[in-house]
Amino acid sequence: MMRTLTVSRFLTLLLYAVPSLYLALRSNILLSEIALTLSSISEGAEPSTVRVPNESRRKRHASLPNGLAHCINSFEQYPFLAEQIIQRKYGRFAKQTPAQKALSNKLGYAEHFTKAREGIETNAQFTNKVARIAREKYHTGPQALGATDDADFGLVDMTFGHLSRDWTSQGTRERQAVFPPILDGLNRHFNVNGNSKKVLVPGSGMGRLASDIADLGYDVTANEMDYSSILTYHLLANHTTSLHQHSLQPFVTKWTHQANPSSRYSTLTLPDHWPNKAVQLVEGDFLDIFPQDSKFDAVVTLFFIDMANNTIDFLSNIHRLLKPGGVWINLGPLKWGTHSALQLSTEEVLQLADLLGFDVDHTSRKSIDSLYAEQPETLLKFTYVTQFWQATKRM
């Protein structure tokens, strides 16, 4: 009996160890980290996949911009982190009785593990490319930029969602709900004469809105401080030679809320449109990266103002950066974080805008239902009732 238990424990460990070792060696992970992961698996602990880098780790990469090393590390470790998720699913599947397993196999369930691993491989080709190009751009050298437990699966997963929203044809529906009111607002304000008008898009994410505004002839500055978006946009804008060049299976680890078995393996190709190379992407915090006052004719905020620790800072800065008579166009939810000093209603945000020196065009206001970075075929969707308005800086 004891011997059978030992053999079965050994086989279980082997099941976990082989893919872990394979992926770890591909990702240059230290052997000590593999040992740590295996020991946590053998103890039955669920290894955490979402970690925030601590201060001492940050200091090791003081020469790199804040968050860059963590981001590159997360992209490099993606296959390992995704494999952990599949292993946990397999662990639960394998615990079924033989009769239950036989039934599950009749559904073809075991094939999901093979297919998911193929999808992870597809995604890893993309994440490795992002990381390699980032290492070249920021001259990181070849050294490891973090440990396995300093990598964040959620960061890569969100990147896939943002990519799908901005740069795939599957994201068209999402974009169609929120881009036209903004583009129309700009064209109305400038009488369709965008040439040479300077537009700032802070919190530009993956950059599609900024690119579409530039396509209309505006002189666009995009601004972003999150490196998962900055690095991925860099790959699309500067290291992509054909449309639909890159493939992703963003949902391979998401097995809940699916109507069809195949939805988990939907393949998206990107980019579906060329990023406009005239867009200037400024990396850094919008609050301190633009020293010059009255620089822009328009500031466009899409799903952005509720990211503020203090919305007075954001609105004051938008006001400071606009030329007198310049327009602020906003579309987004008011999903204030728990860190926000103020969690204002729409009416309060607009009163605040008035107090800070904006003339709010109340006739422009509307509510627009919008999804955000959703899997197109999921059975669970969150709808934001986004708030749209235009306001001009008082002369």
Ligand X SMILES: C[S@@+](CC[C@H](N)C(=O)[O-])C[C@H]1O[C@@H](n2cnc3c(N)ncnc32)[C@H](O)[C@@H]1O
**Interface with ligand X, residue 183, by CB under 6 A:** no
Q: Say if CB 229 and CB 127 are below 8 A apart.
A: no
Give the chain's largest Cα–Cα span: 86
Least distance in Å: CB of 154 to ligand X?
14
Amino acid identity for residue 336 in this structure: W
The residue among 27 and 74 lying less far from ligand X, judged by its C-beta, is: 74
Contact call for residue 384 and ligand X (CB under 6 A): no
**Is 216 among the residues that bind ligand X (CB under 6 A)?**
no
Candidate segments 14-22, 200-208, 320-328, 354-362, binder of ligand X by CB under 6 A: 200-208
User: In the numeric block, which tokens belong to residue 125?
Assistant: 């080709």
Q: What is the C-alpha separation between 89 and 92, in angstroms, rounded?
A: 5
x-or-dash string of contact with ligand X, 149-168, rule CB under 6 A: ----------------x---
CB of 235 to ligand X, least distance (A): 16
Measured distance CA(348)–CA(355) in Å, rounded: 10
Among 19, 185, 194, 202, binds ligand X (CB under 6 A): 202
32 C-beta neighbours (distance < 10 Å), count: 10
Structure tokens given for 265:
């393996």
Say how far apart CA 85 and CA 286 lie, in whole Å: 35
Question: For the window 222-241, what string marks contact with ligand X as x by the rule CB under 6 A?
Answer: -xxxx--x------------
Contact between 368 and ligand X by CB under 6 A: the answer reads no
Site for ligand X contains 302 (CB under 6 A) = yes
- Which of 147, 287, 360, 368 binds ligand X (CB under 6 A)? It is 287
Q: Which uninterrupted H or E stretch holds 242?
A: none
CB of 285 to ligand X, least distance (A): 4
With CB under 6 A as the contact rule, which of the stretches 31-39, 83-91, 119-127, 298-306 interacts with ligand X? 298-306
Smallest distance from ligand X to CB 82, Å: 22
Number of residues in contact with ligand X under rule CB under 6 A: 17
User: Where do we find the tokens 């073809």?
Assistant: 108
**Whole-number Å distance between alpha carbons of 259 and 4:** 40
Using the rule CB under 6 A, is 271 a contact of ligand X? no
Q: Round to whole Å and give the CA distance between 296 and 276.
A: 19
Query: Between residues 293 and 313, which has the closer beta carbon with respect to ligand X?
Result: 313
Supply the Cα-derived Rg of the chain in whole angstroms. Answer: 24
Q: Which of 136, 285, 293, 354 forms a contact with ligand X (CB under 6 A)?
A: 285
Touching ligand X, residues 306-365 (CB under 6 A): 307
Determine the Cα–Cα distance for residues 70 and 65; give it in Å rounded to an integer: 10
Instruction: Indicate the residue type of 322.
Output: L
| The length of the chain, given as a count of residues | 395
| Site residues for ligand X per CB under 6 A | 165, 202-205, 223-226, 229, 285-287, 302-304, 307
